[in-house]
């Protein structure tokens, strides 16, 4: 009961779909997020512009389309791979090497290749007071790398910047 009451507040996981089934399964999914706050890994810009992405980072729009192909090894366990594309827009702070804020950047990525994989398992109680109760979990890893274009504004003035951004995440859904 405590898990059911507290997980909606503590988890932002992807949906786990239905329970595992034996054999081959094919599915299609679309993710859209309109806001996510992150603290990314620092990316060094040319001197003396500082570091982009070390402070607050807010993803404004995120689109991810994935084809999922899975195989149920047993009636309680399925493994799968996901292939597709992703793109997003975000706003981040620019800080100097001492961590002092010196500006901000608005970043737009191009649609890039996204991939991942995961496993899901489920157990159904066959008898007793909880007969028919199904409990399970889905754990997946997703990764995508895109080219980006950024408009930065800091104490040296406006500047265009471009490069690559890599996003990796683990999602666990009970």
Q: How confident is the model at residue 169 (pLDDT cuts 50, 70, 90)?
A: confident
Q: Report how far residue 48's alpha carbon sits from residue 129's, in angstroms, rounded to the nearest whole number.
A: 67
> Per the structure block, which two tokens stand in for 21?
């089934």
Q: Which parts of the chain are beta strand (E)?
A: 23-33, 36-38, 43-44, 51-74, 77-95, 101-109, 112-124, 134-154, 157-173
| Residue 4: predicted pLDDT | 61
Q: What is the pLDDT of residues 17-56, one digit of tens each?
A: 677 888 999 988 888 777 766 665 555 444 444 444 455 6
Considering only residues 4 and 94, tell me which one the structure prediction assigns the higher pLDDT. 94
Q: What is the pTM of this model?
A: 0.71
Q: What is the pLDDT of residues 66-78, one digit of tens each?
A: 999 999 998 899 9
Q: What is the pLDDT of residues 87-146, one digit of tens each?
A: 888 777 776 667 677 777 777 788 889 999 999 999 988 888 888 888 888 999 999 888
């Amino acid at each position: 009961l405590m898990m059911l009451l507290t997980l909606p507040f503590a988890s932002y996981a992807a949906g786990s779909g239905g329970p595992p089934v034996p054999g081959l399964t094919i599915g299609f999914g679309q993710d859209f997020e309109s806001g996510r706050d992150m603290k990314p890994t620092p990316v060094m810009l040319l001197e003396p512009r500082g570091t982009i992405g070390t402070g607050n980072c807010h993803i404004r729009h995120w689109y991810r389309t994935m084809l999922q192909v899975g195989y149920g090894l047993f009636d309680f366990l399925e493994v799968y791979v996901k292939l597709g594309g992703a793109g997003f827009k975000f706003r981040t702070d620019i800080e100097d090497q001492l961590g002092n804020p010196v500006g901000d950047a608005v970043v737009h990525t191009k649609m890039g290749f996204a991939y991942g994989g995961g496993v899901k398992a489920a157990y159904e109680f066959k008898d007793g007071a909880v007969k028919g109760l199904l409990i399970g979990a889905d754990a997946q890893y997703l990764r995508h790398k895109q080219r980006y274009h950024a408009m930065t504004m800091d104490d040296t003035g406006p500047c265009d910047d471009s490069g690559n951004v890599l996003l990796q995440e683990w999602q666990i859904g009970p």
